[in-house]
Structure 1
Amino acid sequence: MTSPETTLVPFASPAAATGAPYANGPVAYDGILLAGFGGPEGQDDVIPFLRNVTRGRGIPDERLEEVAHHYRHFGGVSPINGQNRALKAALEAELARRGIDLPVYWGNRNWAPYLEDAVAEASAHGHNTLLAFATSAYSSFSSCRQYREDFARVLHDTGLGETVTIDKIRPFYDHPGFVEAFERGVHDAVAGFLAEGVEAGEIQILFSTHSIPTADAERSGARDIDWGEGGAYAAQHLAVAAWVMDRVRAAIPAATDVAWELVYQSRSGPASQPWLEPDVCDVIGELRERGRRAVVVVPVGFMSDHMEVLWDLDTEAAEAAESAGLLFTRTPTPGVAPAFLSGIVDLIEERLEGRPRAERRHVTSLPGGFDVCRPGCCENVRAGFKPAAAGVAP
């Protein structure tokens, strides 16, 4: 075991501890850590859950209740825990099918089962070399670094930092197993509208993802790479959307005239703080003026149909489309589709084998996809840097 105090990458396996962007050789991991966001599972859980999500920001309960109505609408139950239970079971089955004998431990950042309990359970079973799969595909503070900070916090608070290592699977936004569902969904939606007599130029594709503070977006990804406006977070989403549209247009020649853009949703910050725009519902409200008759919303930033999809898209965006007199469809998320499950195991095998970067599957030409996050990436300007696993300290 390598001491976290003597490595460039705290709490890392020897193959990742040197600080090189890609792991140096294979690792004999003995457990998979499925790291989720978490969600309430009853009305009494909603406000305590939201307190966990917003911890340290001093938000009073009356303001949290303004967000809570999304959960109240569904009986206080977020679908995300059920989806992660299904993902854990399906991942275990796919690992077994592929002949990989690794247990899967599931822990959340914000609700039970917590990451602390999952890591402690793994260690109690003698599984101390863990590979984490975080249920978020892109690079930003909330979708990557915050998980890494939680890994470090858990190892410190449990006293397991000297015995347990946690590496993290690379951002998987452009792995073919992840993007396959979006490609298929857009293809089927465009073909369906064309079959109904809607002209290609009357169809609008909106690739939607969670909005984040502009300052966080600008600091997302490795600092020595020029990602352009919106940092790695925006660049990665735009690259995936462009790839999907290229594939759909190759399969459906008429789709060349179908317009698309990247939009954002689920903003939760104060009006005084700049967040990524435009908002999905605002854009939907403008589409009739652009001559559109139909809108296809693609939840490209999401792995499964959790609350931001069910409420912000299936409810609010659908209502905005109805008010605008537009035909509306929302395409599927990867969920537990076979291609996605196979893709997750591909990502696990990359690290088990120490597979070289050139042999790894990806569909975009963006740089990055690092096993070990680079110094200072994905900074949270409001809170500053905290200790984080699976990356070089800033």
Structure 2
Amino acid sequence: MTAAPEALPRLAAASRTVAPATYDCILLAGFGGPEGQDDVIPYLRNVTAGRGVPDERLEEVSHHYRHFGGVSPINQQNRELKAALEAEISSRDLGLPVYWGNRFWEPYFDDALKELHADGHRRVLVLVTTAFSSYSGCRAYREDLAAALSRTGLEGEIVLDKVRQYFDHPGFVEPNVTAVREGLRALVASGDDAAPHVMFATHSIPSAAADVSGPREALPDGTPVPTGGGEDWYAGGGWYVAQQRAVSALVMDRVADEFPDVPWTLVFQSRSGDPSVPWLEPDINLAIEALPADTSGLVISPIGFVSDHMEVAWDLDNEALETCEERGLTMVRVPTVGVDPAFVSGLIDLVEERHVAAAGDAPRERVALTELGPWQDVCPTDCCLGRAAKPTVASCD
């Protein structure tokens, strides 16, 4: 059990939401991935830059990509998401062009910023392809965008603001509810529904990083966090875990009308790095092995991801499936939100919370489906710290 930090400043709720503005365009910010065998090692060098990882070690961990011809599905998935966003924007007559840039592979942030600047855009709203609060899921994107502005000489030329984390927005939640419901129905159709279990899978991160995820000085509505510690405030994992537990519980509550009393677990996957460093647990494969003997079928929901990229395709569709087969357990892996129309529409709803066509226009109402949200627009300077504080963009006070 960890006590709440005593010395962090208390922020008022008003400091968490920024006034709407008129934006010129949208930047879809992705992670990036290799698109051929020759790209794999350069891509992994980018991801591990500054950590002193030799190419020999990178080659050892490249087998996931080699298995799929060196091609990660993530870039094509983001191309499809970009096209879907453009269609939704057109249907609403918003007139906002969409640009796309990645942290670790082409098109890089630098390229996207130079392109949109050359096209005359100066105020940019950023959509990040991660829904939850953590260093890797939020702050790292803002740091990398700040670094890209510096490298390209565009500091002061472009304003970059990021939309809030959207883990409990209806556009993210509803497709996940539908997916889990359909997964349980698939178990019924297979005859393996006598004692089903649902696992919500998300990316494991170092426990220390999870513990400092999200705003630690106050609750999302501005209420100060109790300083006495204890389970009422925090039971480990920071806001990263709290958000995912809240959404998973919400999904199960929503399917309970048809599938009451189905047990569920939040599990973690894709850990890497020094094995002596504690990461979030339980690992999905160990959790599958530990399921009660009478479990008849397993639905796996990749709740922590927005697309069926490499870590979903390998860690769930290969490794978790093998573990289930070894147990003789029927497994149904349901899809991520991807380009589900509700998700795409929800992302543009988030845009319309911040973007107004003209001064005086009313922004879209901010909505959330858990008590944790709606999440903040403004991040505290000490929110989701990584190795060291670095300059950020997109509304960090």
Above 0.5 in TM-score? yes
**Contact 2:35 2:71 survives alignment (8 Å):** yes
SS of residue paired to 2:260 = helix
**Structure 1 segments (4+ residues) deviating >6 Å:** 354-357
Deviations 1:83-110 (A, max 9, x none): 1111111111110011110111100000
Alignment correspondent of 2:253: 246
Amino acid at match of 1:294: G
Q: 1:361 corresponds to which residue?
A: 367
Whole-angstrom distance in 2 between the partners of 1:72 and 1:187: 34
2:6 corresponding residue in structure 1: none
Distance in 2 separating the partners of 1:355 and 1:384: 39
1:176 aligns with 2:170: yes
Distance apart, 1:186 and its partner CA: 1.0
Match among 333, 337, 341 for residue 330 of structure 1: 333
Residue 208 of structure 1 aligns to a residue in which SS?
strand
Note the residue ranges of structure 2 that are not aligned, 5 or more in a row.
1-13, 219-232
3-state SS of 1:122 partner: helix
* Aligned residue identity for 1:302: F
> Contact 1:130/1:166 (CA < 8 Å) preserved in 2?
yes
Per the alignment, residue 210 of structure 2 pairs with 217
1:309 maps to 312
Q: Note closer, same or farther for the CA distance 1:157–1:227 as it changes in structure 2 (3 Å cut).
A: farther
1:23 aligned partner: 18
Amino acid at match of 1:124: A
Q: Deviations over 1:13-56 (max 9, x none)?
A: xxxxxx921112x2110010111000000000000000000111
Q: Is the 8 A contact 2:366 2:374 kept in 1?
A: no
Once the two structures are superposed, what CA deviation does each residue of 1:108-146 show, in whole Å capped at 9, x if it has no partner?
Answer: 000010000101111111101000001111100000000
> Does the residue aligned with 1:256 lie in a helix, a strand or coil?
coil
Matched-pair contact (CA < 8 Å) for 2:168–2:373: no
How far apart are the structure 2 equivalents of 1:125 and 1:113? 16
- CA shift for structure 1 position 195: 4.2
1:257 is paired with a residue of what secondary structure?
coil
Distance 1:114 1:102 in 2: 20
Superposed displacement of residue 163, structure 1? 1.2
Question: Does structure 1 residue 389 correspond to structure 2 residue 382?
Answer: no
> Could you give the per-residue CA deviations for residues 260-310 of structure 1, whole angstroms, max 9, x where no partner exists?
0100000012111000000011111122x4421211110000000000100
Question: CA–CA distance in 2 between the matches of 1:91 and 1:386?
Answer: 31
Q: Does 1:35 align with 2:29?
A: yes
Unaligned runs of 5+ in 1: 1-18
Aligned-residue offset at 1:181: 1.9
Contact 1:222 1:375 in 2 (8 A): no
Question: Would the alpha carbon gap of residues 75 and 196 (structure 1) be closer, same or farther in structure 2, given more than 3 Å must change?
Answer: closer
Output aligned runs, 1:130-209, within 5 Å: 130-200=124-194, 202-209=195-202
2:286 counterpart of 1:286 = no
TM-score, normalised to structure 2, is 0.89
Matched, 1:83 2:89: no
Q: Does residue 93 in structure 1 map to residue 114 in structure 2?
A: no
**1:41 partner SS:** coil
Q: Which amino acid aligns with 1:216?
A: A
Alignment partner, residue 260 of structure 1: 264
**How high is the sequence identity, in percent, across the aligned residues?**
55
CA deviation after TM superposition for structure 1 residue 66, in Å:
2.0
Partner of residue 378 from structure 2, selected from 347, 369, 372? 372
CA RMSD after TM alignment = 1.5
The one-letter code sitting in structure 1 at the alignment partner of 2:350 is: L
| Cα distance in 1, alignment partners of residues 126 and 373 from structure 2 | 22
Pick the structure with more helix per residue: 1
Give the alignment of 1:97-136 within 5 angstroms.
97-136=91-130
Once residues 216 and 50 of structure 2 are traced to their aligned partners in structure 1, the CA distance between those partners, rounded to angstroms, is: 27
More moved, 95-104 vs 360-369 = 360-369
SS of match in other structure, 1:205: strand
Pair 1:46-2:53 in alignment: no
Q: Distance in 2 between matches of 1:356 and 1:126?
A: 24
In the aligned structure 2, how far is the partner of 1:193 from the partner of 1:52?
Answer: 41
Write the distance in 1 (CA, Å) between the matches of 2:164 and 2:354. 10
